[in-house]
Amino acid sequence: MLPFSRVTIIGLGLIGSSLCRAIRDHMPTVRVTGYDADPQVRQIARAIDLADDVTDTAGASVTDADLVILCVPVRAMGAAAADIAQDLPAEAIISDVGSCKVDVLAQLNAALPGRCIIPAHPVAGTENSGPEAGFASLFHGRWCIVTPPADADPAAVERVAELWRRVGAEVERMDPPHHDLVLAVTSHLPHLIAYTIVGTASDLEDVTQSEVIKYSAGGFRDFTRIAASDPTMWRDVFLANKDAVLEMLQRFSEDLSALQRAIRWNDGDALFNLFTRTRAIRRSIIEQGQDDAKPDFGRSH
């Protein structure tokens, strides 16, 4: 028994287009409708046959949906929800894929009062953007965190969870504030740090940008991947999850200062102890199937 029969995906970027493909691959009888505010994206979506139908207005995309998933930048969720409010069937469930949940839930509640809102967040992605960057297996073996409001209908929560399991994800449930704290450290802070270091490296006077690029295999290139992620999406994440991001950033800065001091005072033991501890975390991530066991992420040599 399929959890939904008519799913609408609004926002056809990396995640939205991957979801279209994944639903059509794993649940071929589900009717998938797509919409994107950008006419050029809609045109590409039609050309590459992302959905059974790509509509020219947001309203037209939801008229017979039993599930609508918003896949737009987190600060655009409220406007995207307002755009469909008039046409949304009474029984439809609204979900999203945003990377911060407290702020998004507030936006959706404001735009769609009284509706069945079950936010979710698939912890998956690549550094590429746009409708052509998506692929059906993006969610395989990744976690999807469902963050329903406290009073959500359990049956609706289970239907959304089942959709994600069908496309290959493992599902976990969290309350929205805890989700935002966990993701601040596992995703938002890493992106912020990566963006910063790539910026720092490209602003030097004594070392040229071409030298930075040429010798990036010494470690720098690992950071450039997530620093190539979608700028609009990430601007929104940092502003929408401001408190948790600033809290994690403060802790990181303190730890970095301690390390800076250890280097300045030649405290080799402090460095060695930290560097030994961090090795164990990598091992656990690989053991739990959350990264490739092959050296160098399995890059070709």
Range 262-281, binding its own copies (CB under 8 A): 263-264, 266, 268, 271-272, 274-279, 281
Is residue 194 a contact point for its own copies (CB under 8 A)? yes
Q: Which is nearer to its own copies, 3 or 98 (CB)?
A: 98
3-state secondary structure 193-204: HHHHHHHHHHCC
**Rounded to 5 degrees, what angle do the CA atoms 232, 194, 147 make?**
60
Q: Within 173-192, which residues bind its own copies (CB under 8 A)?
A: 178, 181-183, 185-192
Q: Cα(140)–Cα(25) distance, rounded to whole angstroms?
A: 12
Please check whether residue 47 is in contact with residue 17, taking contact to mean a CB–CB distance below 8 angstroms.
Answer: no
For residue 288, give every residue at least 6 positions away whose Cβ sits within 8 Å of its Cβ, in sequence order, or none.
none
Distance, in Å, from the CA atom of 276 to the CA atom of 278, rounded to the nearest integer, reads 6
List the one residue from 123, 146, 160, 161 that touches its own copies (CB under 8 A): 123
Site map 60..99 versus its own copies, x via CB under 8 A: ---------------------------------------x
Cβ atoms within 10 Å of 208's Cβ, excluding its own: 11
Closest separation in Å from C-beta 60 to its own copies: 31
Q: Is 110 in the site for its own copies (CB under 8 A)?
A: no
Minimum distance of its own copies from residue 93's CB (angstroms): 24
Rounded Cα–Cα distance for residues 124 and 105 (Å):
20
Would you say 5 or 260 has its CB closer to its own copies? 260
Q: Minimal distance in Å, beta carbon 217 to its own copies? A: 5
Positions in 136-165 near its own copies (CB under 8 A): 137-138, 140, 142-143, 145
